[in-house]
Structure 1
Amino acid sequence: MIPQTQRILIVDDEPKLRELVKAYLSKEGYAVEAVEDGVSADKYLAENEVDLVILDLMLPGEDGLSIGRRLSQQKNLPIIILSARGEELDRIIGLEMGADDYLSKPFNPRELLARVRSVLRRCGTSDQTSSTELNSSMSFGPFKLDVEKHQLSKGQQDIPLTTGEFTLLRVFLENANRVLNRDTLLEKTKGYDHSPYDRSVDVCVGRLRKKIETDPAKPEYLRTIWGAGYLFTVDE
């Protein structure tokens, strides 16, 4: 049984699906609330804290992408996007706006549960032993990553990271100066079976470069090694 402190907000305008997902996740031990639109989500979040938002793209009024972008920027909440369209463009846009994962409808509740556990594990305390357990911070160039607080800073400037960006940057720093291919990165950051066409790592790399590189088109730290993967370069 997982701790009740892990709270989830579902935002979906389909009553049957909303209640089904709520019941399934509640049975697994999560504290779950479900609302139908962005207005209700804002009202709930103004009075309650949550650990994860499951957000449908196709909502009445304000659409899911707009809501997700706002929540990611204002509250830095982990977000799993749901979409009935299942189009690759929707997936890419969702990931670019800061979502941590994406799931197409219809889906198996067990798959959603695996995604939920993975995202919450990445943004919380991991059971896996890593080199950063002995080091609460990691540095490269003028940047410092506080592992415990999930914060990136450059001097006195704080640089906000989504859960996915933090996890990917941490993996790169733990494997600095080593080429990592996409499959390895997906395994280390997602922790579940993935499609060979999953581009979420590439999207997240693009977002990271905008935050740490002087010129994202000519990266100094996070370089693409064509045909092999990515190399995060840190001075020894």
Structure 2
Amino acid sequence: MKTDKLLLIDDDKELGELLVEFLASEGFSLELAYSGEEGLQKLAEKDYDLILLDVMMPGMSGLDVLREMRNANTVPVLMLTAKGDELDKVLGLELGADDYLPKPYSHRELVARIRALLRRIEMEHQRPGPAVQPVLTLGRVTLDTRVYQALIDKQDLELTQTEFKVLQTLMERAGQVVTKNELYQTVLGRPLEPYDRSIDMHVSNVRKKIMTLSEDYRPIKTLRGVGYQFVAN
């Protein structure tokens, strides 16, 4: 059985040592970086399956790390944020984090969130079945699930893995309304939680990237209080 390799970037050494032991008992291999700079160095030297990234660190913050690593790395990132700090959550998701977990959190809650993200990534990298179209074109958008590339007018949207999954889910059900809870389950592998705006931010990021390359094209519609719909024409 494959052991998933995780990297925790957090200046709290005591927490890190506790998590190494606990996550090992859950079947994960966890390495530690106690600063943003050390975390980026480890990312440059080795591949990981998922990054646990604390936002509040002295010197180089977690947001700074995320901004720099997203220039060249698409590894899933679970942000660890201060409870109630909406600005950090929004900025982190805008910069390409996949999900967030507010502190304080239980170890069981952390494991559940890690497994949900890894399960989603594993499903994405499985070969498409015979009923699944590896290349999907609707309107001016083309998705190639074999290489996880999204194009608009033949220009690369440069989506994160989570943003790609959001767009793929909406396009596969074009013309239908996809509820927010359905998107949470499909994209993040967990149910919608009260006051959680993660999916809204991922959809917003996809829209911004589409508008950057094609300002007049807005295929994702919002049905307030319900969900989203991809309209090809």
Query: Distance between the aligned counterparts of 1:227 and 1:147, measured in 2?
Result: 30
Work out whether residues 13 and 59 of structure 1, in 8 Å CA contact, stay in contact via their aligned partners in 2. Answer: yes
1:52 corresponds to which of 34, 43, 50: 50
Aligned residue for 2:74? 76
Aligned residue for 2:199? 201
Aligned residue for 1:17? 15
Work out whether residues 119 and 189 of structure 2, in 8 Å CA contact, stay in contact via their aligned partners in 1. Answer: no
Aligned residue for 1:125? 123
Query: Distance between the aligned counterparts of 2:24 and 2:141, measured in 1?
Result: 40
Tell me which moved more, 87-96 or 190-199: 190-199
Query: Distance between the aligned counterparts of 1:153 and 1:219, measured in 2?
Result: 13
Equivalent pairs, count: 231
Work out whether residues 122 and 163 of structure 1, in 8 Å CA contact, stay in contact via their aligned partners in 2. Answer: no
Counterpart of 2:164 in structure 1: which amino acid?
Answer: F
Judged with a 3 Å threshold, the aligned counterparts in structure 2 of structure 1 residues 227 and 81 are, in CA distance, closer, same or farther, namely closer
Alignment of 1:82-231 (within 5 A): 82-125=80-123, 134-154=132-152, 156-213=154-211, 214-215=214-215, 220-231=218-229
Counterpart of 1:110 in structure 2: which amino acid?
Answer: R
TM normalised by structure 1 equals 0.87
Counterpart of 1:58 in structure 2: which amino acid?
Answer: M
Query: Distance between the aligned counterparts of 1:229 and 1:156, measured in 2?
Result: 28
Judged with a 3 Å threshold, the aligned counterparts in structure 2 of structure 1 residues 227 and 107 are, in CA distance, closer, same or farther, namely closer
Q: Deviations over 1:83-123 (max 9, x none)?
A: 23431222112111111011111111111111111212222
Q: CA deviation at 1:143?
A: 2.6
Work out whether residues 81 and 102 of structure 2, in 8 Å CA contact, stay in contact via their aligned partners in 1. Answer: yes
Query: Distance between the aligned counterparts of 2:80 and 2:89, measured in 1?
Result: 9
Query: Distance between the aligned counterparts of 1:133 and 1:17, measured in 2?
Result: 46
Counterpart of 2:9 in structure 1: which amino acid?
Answer: V
Across the aligned residues of Structure 1 and Structure 2, the Cα RMSD in angstroms comes to 2.4
Work out whether residues 93 and 198 of structure 2, in 8 Å CA contact, stay in contact via their aligned partners in 1. Answer: yes
Query: Distance between the aligned counterparts of 1:64 and 1:199, measured in 2?
Result: 20
Q: Is there any run of 5+ residues in structure 2 with no aligned partner, and where?
A: none
Q: CA deviation at 1:134?
A: 2.9
Q: CA deviation at 1:188?
A: 2.1
Q: CA deviation at 1:155?
A: 5.4
Q: CA deviation at 1:129?
A: 11
Work out whether residues 83 and 104 of structure 2, in 8 Å CA contact, stay in contact via their aligned partners in 1. Answer: no
Aligned residue for 2:2? 3
Q: Deviations over 1:151-175 (max 9, x none)?
A: 2124553332112101111111121
Query: Distance between the aligned counterparts of 2:130 and 2:155, measured in 1?
Result: 22
Query: Distance between the aligned counterparts of 2:152 and 2:71, measured in 1?
Result: 18
Work out whether residues 128 and 134 of structure 2, in 8 Å CA contact, stay in contact via their aligned partners in 1. Answer: no
Q: Deviations over 1:58-100 (max 9, x none)?
A: 1121111111121123212211101234312221121111110
Q: CA deviation at 1:126?
A: 5.2
Judged with a 3 Å threshold, the aligned counterparts in structure 2 of structure 1 residues 129 and 46 are, in CA distance, closer, same or farther, namely closer
Q: CA deviation at 1:184?
A: 2.3
TM normalised by structure 2 equals 0.88
% identity of equivalent residues: 36
Query: Distance between the aligned counterparts of 1:128 and 1:205, measured in 2?
Result: 24
Q: Deviations over 1:135-192 (max 9, x none)?
A: 2122222332121322212455333211210111111112111012222222222222
Query: Distance between the aligned counterparts of 1:225 and 1:156, measured in 2?
Result: 28
1:66 corresponds to which of 64, 67, 85: 64
